[in-house]
Amino acid sequence: MSLLTRSAAKVAAATPAPGGGPAKQAPTSGYSRQPLTPYLLLLPALAALLLFVYGPALLSLIGSFFVIPLSGGSWKYAGFNNYLKVFADPLIHQAAWNTLVYSLATIIPSIVLGLLLALLMEKMGRGSWLAKTALILPMTANMVAMAVVFKWIFAFQGGFANQLLGIAGLAPVNWLDEADTSLFTVILLGLWRATSLCMLLFMAGLTTIPSSIHEATAVEGIRGFTKLRTVILPMLRPTVVFVTVLSITGAVQVFEIVNVMTKGGPVGSSETAMTAAHKVGFEYFRIGEASAISFILIALLLAVGVIGRQRRTKETS
């Protein structure tokens, strides 16, 4: 009976309706339900985002309006006083200026150098695997480990940089403990790493350009800088926008290399926004003001991300 019933159901489904159209089939309940497996797989990532990203951001926003004692007492509402203190603090002024200088000195040169190195690697072809490995290595290395190495290179006594100066007959320089050179040494490390990242991203972007484009430009006699300006850069605009946004967010959040190499000194000459927030919160114990600094940085980075996303959408549309 079950076989006859199934056959009859198939015949009924294949029989056209009286109006001439196909017969409507009842929805199968097994396929109408949304599977829970994708949501279960996303659950750990969503929990991590909530715990380590959105949760701290919300606490930073709430804490920026309170005076928070570390002794465990009750929070005291302060309104916008923490923000007013932050904008009036000379330490924050110096940190903001240093962050701006660091950003300008690392973002633009790293993008230019990264693009030039990516073009060079593409021109070298498959034989450039050793050079690619050496140039990508800074991006894969640990930031703290690199900061320790650079701290040894620029050490006043026994540092590699001063040894080279001694060979050249020049006096040693106290790179890390002088206000005129401390930020410069931090910038060198940041530029070294950022250039490696930009080169890798541009290499990925160059692979999206069809070979027919290169063949057409060769036939037309378009080469060198003219090809870069009229063909390569217009096709790399989405990649350039993405690299720029990523470089800005990385430069504004610089912390490890400053904390390891100079700790923001001497006298705040290499202090950045992140190290200033850490110092205000965990050395001066002004948690509310540190939360205000952190939320200002979060708002700034969100604005940069939104603008970058809009630009990428325009470029790809």
pLDDT digits (tens, 9 = 90+) for 205-250: 988 888 888 888 888 888 888 888 888 888 998 899 899 999 999 9
pLDDT for 220 equals 84
What CATH number does residue 131 fall under? Answer: 1.10.3720.10
Indicate whether 7 pLDDT > 50. Answer: no
How many structural domains does the chain have? 2
pLDDT score recorded for residue 3? 41
Q: Judge if 248 and 121 occupy the same domain.
A: yes
Same domain, 137 and 48: no
pLDDT of residue 107: 94
Residue 80 · residue 65 · CB < 8 Å: yes
The pTM score is 0.81
- Asked if 247 and 111 count as a contact pair (C-beta separation under 8 A), the reply is yes
Q: What is the pLDDT of residue 126?
A: 67
Judged against a pLDDT cut of 50, whether residue 186 lies above it is answered with yes
| 69 and 170 co-located in one domain | no
Domain's final residue, options 30, 50, 79: 79
Domain presence at residue 37: no
Residue 16 has pLDDT above 70, yes or no: no
Q: Is residue 215 part of a domain?
A: no
Same domain, 118 and 59: no
Q: Is the per-residue pLDDT at 109 higher than 90?
A: yes
Of the given ranges (29-38, 132-141, 205-214, 293-302), which has the lowest mean pLDDT? 29-38
Quote the domain boundaries for residue 53. 42-79
Which of 126-140, 212-226, 269-283, 293-307 is most confident?
269-283
State whether 54 and 170 are in the same domain: no
Indicate whether 124 and 267 sit together in one domain: yes
Distance separating alpha carbons of residues 209 and 118, to the nearest angstrom: 13
Select the more confidently predicted residue: 15 or 316.
316
Average pLDDT across the chain, whole number: 84
- Over residues 164-191, the mean pLDDT reads 92
When pLDDT is cut at 50, 70 and 90, the band that residue 8 belongs to is: very low
Same domain, 51 and 115: no
Q: What does the CA dihedral 265, 269, 273, 279 come to, rounded to 10 degrees?
A: 30
Does residue 233 lie within any of the structural domains?
A: no
Residues 62 and 106 in one domain: no
27 or 126, which is more confident? 126
Least confident window among 100-109, 129-138, 146-155: 129-138
Q: What percent of the chain has pLDDT over 90?
A: 43
The answer as to whether 116 is a domain residue is yes
* Average confidence (pLDDT) over 306-312: 80
Position 225 in a domain: no
For the chain, the straight-line distance linking the first and the last C-alpha, in angstroms and rounded, comes to 59
| Predicted confidence (pLDDT) at residue 164 exceeds the cutoff of 90 | yes
| More confident position, 135 or 249 | 249
Cis status of the peptide bond prior to 238, with omega within 30 of 0 = no
**Sequence-ordered list of residues with C-beta below 8 angstroms from that of 197, at least 6 positions apart, any chain:** 110, 114, 139, 246, 247, 250
Do 74 and 162 fall within a single domain? no
Residue 20: pLDDT over 60: no
- Do 46 and 192 belong together in one domain? no
Residues 111, 72 within the same domain:
no
Say if 214 falls within a structural domain: no
**Are residue 182 and residue 107 in the same domain, yes or no?**
yes
Q: Which long-range contacts (CB under 8 A, 24 or more apart) does 270-277 make?
A: 270/98, 270/182, 270/183, 270/186, 271/91, 271/94, 271/95, 271/98, 272/95, 272/98, 272/99, 272/102, 273/92, 273/95, 273/96, 273/99, 273/297, 275/95, 276/91, 276/92, 276/95
Residue 167 lies in a domain: yes
Phi, psi of 67 (to 5 degrees): -95, 115
Comparison of pLDDT for 304 and 104, the residue scoring more: 104
Does any domain span residue 263?
yes
